[in-house]
């Protein structure tokens, strides 16, 4: 069972906890939001947070891949792995376009616990962020998790990255259905397509002096005097110099 199923089971049995810094009224709202949204979620494993430190996000590429999405990441603290995750969905009205993050953390051998809500309002191509609770230490964690997810979303929206679905074991699925449990979610892996450095294509992405694999943001390009085209964001660089996310699957194209 992956972590998200354990969290859902805890919420269903009313064992999902909320940090003390969130007032009782807001805690009840957070738990209700989780119960309302979680059954619709599609899950993505971001991997280790440290691997995204050299990546930056593009405000124009912040789009959730599904209406409700669970993002999970981990990091090492004092030699022990800890986990963070966020259940994300959009709240679109005539007045604003908002992405809500309901964030959870699992430290050492402790259970998963809701530690905050982040309201990301997108206006004029910029992101404005409001965090709950108004606690500085928690706010920093919420900011970090939000930035990591935005980096992941930027990568996901690049034109040379494909999301590949990894289906759960069918035997386990049948066993869970027979026992009346919710079926396991699929997980997804990002696959990078880097054009071979020997390619003669004008879109070649690598050469001997290329830097580590990194994001090239979308940008206008003048292909003839007075004629411009938009080049979508993509991941570029020399895979021999290193890549940003060790769980990426690099597939070189020979053209």
pLDDT at 197: 39
Report which of residues 164 and 141 the model is more confident about. Answer: 141
pLDDT at 40: 86
- For the segment 112-129, the average pLDDT, to the nearest whole number, is 87
Report which of residues 207 and 169 the model is more confident about. Answer: 169
Q: Where are the domains of the chain?
A: 3-157, 195-248
Q: Are 197 and 204 in contact (CB under 8 A)?
A: yes
pLDDT band, residue 31 (cuts 50/70/90): very high
Give the whole-angstrom CA distance, residue 126 versus residue 129. 10
- For the segment 86-99, the average pLDDT, to the nearest whole number, is 85
Q: Are 143 and 84 in contact (CB under 8 A)?
A: no
This model's pTM is above 0.85: no
Burial 68-78 (b: 16+ CB within 10 A, else e): bbbbbbbbeee
Give tens-digit pLDDT for 35-72.
Answer: 999 988 888 888 888 777 767 787 777 888 889 999 99
């Amino acid at each position: 069972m992956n972590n998200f199923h354990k969290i859902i089971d805890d919420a269903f049995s009313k064992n999902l906890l909320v940090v003390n810094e969130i007032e009782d009224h807001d805690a009840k709202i957070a738990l209700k939001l989780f119960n309302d949204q979680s059954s619709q979620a599609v899950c993505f494993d971001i991997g280790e947070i440290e691997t995204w430190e050299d990546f930056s996000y593009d405000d124009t590429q912040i789009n959730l891949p599904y209406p409700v999405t669970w993002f999970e990441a981990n990091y090492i603290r004092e030699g022990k792995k800890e986990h963070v995750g966020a259940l994300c969905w959009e709240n679109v009205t005539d007045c604003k376009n908002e992405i809500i993050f309901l964030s959870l953390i699992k430290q050492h051998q402790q259970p998963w616990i809701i530690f905050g809500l982040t309201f990301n309002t997108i206006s004029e191509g910029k992101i404005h962020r409001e965090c709950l609770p108004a606690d500085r230490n928690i706010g920093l964690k919420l900011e970090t998790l939000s930035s990591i997810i935005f980096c992941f979303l930027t990568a996901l929206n690049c034109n040379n990255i494909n999301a590949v679905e990894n289906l759960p074991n069918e035997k386990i699925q049948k066993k869970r259905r027979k026992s009346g449990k919710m079926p396991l979610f699929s997980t997804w892996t990002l696959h990078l397509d880097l054009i071979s450095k020997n390619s003669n294509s004008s879109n070649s992405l690598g050469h001997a002096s290329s830097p580590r694999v990194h994001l090239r943001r979308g940008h206008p390009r003048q292909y003839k005097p007075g004629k411009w085209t938009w080049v979508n964001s993509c991941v570029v660089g020399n895979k021999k110099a290193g890549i940003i996310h060790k769980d990426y699957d690099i597939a070189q194209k020979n053209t």
